[in-house]
């Protein structure tokens, strides 16, 4: 048997399972080989090595059954006419589990078969014993020789939440580890100049274990001395005396930072795949919607060109074909650009003067603005510049202004107001018009979706607002709209991370 001090009760027995690293651990060849030998010795199809936790039976290794755990009160005896179990006893004959063999027909094992199973149990105990250094019956030496050499964080609290023990995994500094004995987390936090909230959280967790008598598991994130975020999976469970009185709590901690980082990377990848899948579906939908008309027109014009024998008529039909092709090309390029925006993580952001960028767009829309007789008022005094990709900002200006011109009201002269302001490290840009407006009660969930249009217009493709939202969100910003039918629309954009002079 393993020479450890006597463990008096259920909680201590369960603590032993965690100290021995038996529960919730990966498969191990030693145990797998033992169950195979047990099945061969007993000539049975089923063999298991199981350990008893608080509310379950954990199967460390098994042959002939697929489950890894069952409720604690579940007995396999009722499932098989034949079953023999040999107890696995450690810590002065404390039974922590069993080696079992089972079959579908009842029979009796021979004496040599029973001896063989007993030898296998001794082998299991030997495997467990190899995990621990040789120790004597002293509790202090038990802590020092075992707990101090376990890589996991281990701490022990008394009934008043004072530290009885902390291993080097929990506190590496020897001086601090000596200082904390007999003190609580509030005293330790004050000594280390740490946030008192951490101490309060740990006190609450301790009281939960003490008051409920049940183990708890949680994740805890904090910054290491280098300022990097590290995450621990922590477990705390109670220990009671033979009369059921709470005497102490044991806490285990495991660094799962690498696992969390991997999970975060997987989440990012899944989000990217989801976005790309959505974009692909949108792309397919808009292609089928927006490109079908031009393609049909091209097909009809080509047929007419092939059928006609008149040179002048062919020339006329070719002239009608050119704008259709140009429109098709422009639409396709816009679609491709909209898909590529989110994938372009290296786009360069510069300090852009709003007035300069806006004027470039206004120059490009000069004829449309003149034809609409639009009045444009600009106030960029509070925030004259932003840190942003020039390409995106120009596109945002173009889409919002061209939309205002496209959907102006026939009952009044078009009026446009553009303004910027600075607030809490962000810059807010607003573009307000007095056009046809949008019925947000009807279209609130479709405003920025690809291919959505809200008023009839020959040039409407449903790409402008989708492109604008994509460009804004690609740089971490937000966009929203306030509007009502025949009352115009006010688009607001938040450019984040704008701590510039």
The DSSP annotation for 146-204 comes to TGGG-SSEEEEEETTS-EEEE-TTT---HHHHHHHBT--HHHHHHHHT--HHHHHHHHH
Q: Identify which of 398, 410, 399 has the alpha carbon closest to the alpha carbon of residue 372.
A: 410
Domain boundary among 227, 255, 283: 255
pLDDT value for 379: 95
Domain presence at residue 92? yes
Domain presence at residue 265? no
User: In this structure, what CATH number is given to the domain that contains residue 163?
Assistant: 3.30.450.20
pLDDT value for 79: 74
Q: Identify which of 136, 127, 125 has the alpha carbon closest to the alpha carbon of residue 1.
A: 125
Whole-Å CA distances, 413 to 113, 349, 358: 101, 36, 21
pLDDT value for 3: 38
Domain presence at residue 271? no
Q: How many angstroms separate the CA atoms of 495 and 64, rounded?
A: 62
Q: How many angstroms separate the CA atoms of 79 and 104, rounded?
A: 9
Please check whether residue 235 is in contact with residue 153, taking contact to mean a CB–CB distance below 8 angstroms. Answer: no
Domain presence at residue 89? yes
Range of the domain at 100: 10-129
Residue 130, token pair as written in the block = 């190899």
Residue 479, token pair as written in the block = 């966009």
Q: How many angstroms separate the CA atoms of 62 and 496, rounded?
A: 56
Residues 351 and 499 reside in one and the same domain: yes
Residues 203 and 104 reside in one and the same domain: no
pLDDT value for 262: 84
Domain boundary among 198, 220, 255: 255
User: In this structure, what CATH number is given to the domain that contains residue 435?
Assistant: 3.30.565.10
User: In this structure, what CATH number is given to the domain that contains residue 115?
Assistant: 3.30.450.40
Structural domain count, the chain: 3
Residues 373 and 441 reside in one and the same domain: yes
Residues 79 and 169 reside in one and the same domain: no
Residues 167 and 58 reside in one and the same domain: no
Domain presence at residue 394? yes
Residues 467 and 434 reside in one and the same domain: yes
Whole-Å CA distances, 228 to 171, 193, 223, 430: 17, 18, 5, 38
Residues 209 and 115 reside in one and the same domain: no
State the residue for tokens 């959280």.
Answer: 201
Residue 476, token pair as written in the block = 């971490």
pLDDT value for 1: 38
Domain boundary among 99, 129, 159: 129
State the residue for tokens 């094992």.
Answer: 109
3-state secondary structure of 5: coil
- 480-489 pLDDT, tens per residue? 989 888 888 9
Which residues of the chain carry a pLDDT beneath 50? Answer: 1-8, 133-139, 143, 455, 457, 460
Residues 50 and 82 reside in one and the same domain: yes
Please check whether residue 484 is in contact with residue 437, taking contact to mean a CB–CB distance below 8 angstroms. Answer: yes
Residues 246 and 375 reside in one and the same domain: no
Domain presence at residue 94? yes
Residues 125 and 203 reside in one and the same domain: no
pLDDT value for 92: 61
pLDDT value for 8: 45
Residues 115 and 221 reside in one and the same domain: no
Domain presence at residue 321? no
Domain presence at residue 135? no
Residues 351 and 491 reside in one and the same domain: yes
């Amino acid at each position: 048997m393993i020479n450890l001090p006597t463990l008096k009760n259920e909680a201590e027995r369960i603590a032993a399972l965690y100290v021995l690293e038996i529960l919730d651990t990966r498969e191990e060849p030693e145990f797998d080989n033992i169950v195979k030998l047990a099945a061969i010795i007993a000539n049975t199809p089923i063999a298991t090595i199981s350990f008893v936790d608080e509310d379950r039976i954990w199967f460390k290794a098994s042959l002939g059954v697929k489950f890894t755990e069952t409720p604690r009160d579940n007995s396999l005896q009722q499932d098989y006419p034949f079953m023999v179990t040999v107890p696995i006893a450690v810590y002065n004959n404390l039974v922590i589990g069993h080696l079992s063999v089972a079959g579908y027909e009842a029979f009796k094992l021979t004496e040599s078969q029973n001896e063989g199973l007993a030898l296998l149990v001794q082998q299991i105990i030997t495997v467990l014993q190899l995990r621990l250094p040789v120790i004597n019956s002293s509790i202090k030496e038990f802590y020092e020789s075992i707990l101090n050499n376990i890589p996991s964080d281990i701490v022990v609290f008394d009934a008043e939440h004072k530290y009885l023990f902390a291993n080097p995994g929990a506190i590496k500094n020897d001086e601090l580890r000596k200082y904390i004995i007999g003190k609580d987390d509030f005293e330790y936090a004050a000594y280390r100049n740490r946030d008192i909230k951490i101490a309060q959280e740990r006190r609450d967790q301790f009281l939960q274990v003490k008051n409920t008598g049940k183990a708890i598991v949680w994740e805890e994130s904090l910054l290491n001395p280098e300022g990097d975020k590290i995450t621990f999976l922590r477990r705390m469970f109670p220990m009671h005396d033979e009369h059921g009185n709470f005497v102490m709590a044991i806490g285990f901690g495991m660094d799962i930072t690498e696992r969390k980082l991997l999970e975060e990377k997987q989440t990012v990848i899944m989000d990217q795949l989801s976005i790309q899948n959505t974009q692909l579906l949108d792309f397919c939908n808009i292609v089928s919607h927006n490109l079908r008309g031009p393609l049909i027109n091209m097909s009809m014009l080509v047929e007419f060109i092939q059928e006609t024998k008149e040179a002048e008529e062919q020339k006329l039909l070719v002239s009608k074909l050119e704008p259709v092709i140009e429109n098709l090309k422009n639409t396709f390029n816009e679609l491709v650009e909209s898909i590529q925006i989110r994938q372009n993580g290296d786009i360069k952001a510069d300090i852009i003067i709003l007035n300069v960028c806006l004027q470039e767009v206004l120059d490009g829309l000069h004829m449309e603005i003149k034809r609409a007789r639009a009045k444009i008022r600009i106030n960029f005094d509070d925030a004259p510049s932003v840190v942003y990709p020039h390409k995106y900002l120009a596109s945002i200006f173009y889409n919002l202004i061209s939309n205002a011109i496209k959907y102006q009201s026939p009952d009044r002269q078009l009026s446009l107001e553009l303004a910027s302001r600075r607030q809490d490290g962000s810059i807010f840009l607003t573009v307000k018009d007095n056009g046809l407006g949008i019925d947000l009660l009807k279209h609130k969930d479709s405003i920025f979706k690809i291919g959505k249009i809200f008023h009839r217009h020959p040039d409407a493709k449903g790409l402008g607002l989708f492109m604008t939202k994509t460009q804004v969100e690609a740089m971490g910003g937000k966009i929203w709209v306030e509007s009502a039918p025949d009352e115009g629309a006010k688009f607001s954009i938040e450019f984040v991370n704008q701590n510039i002079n």
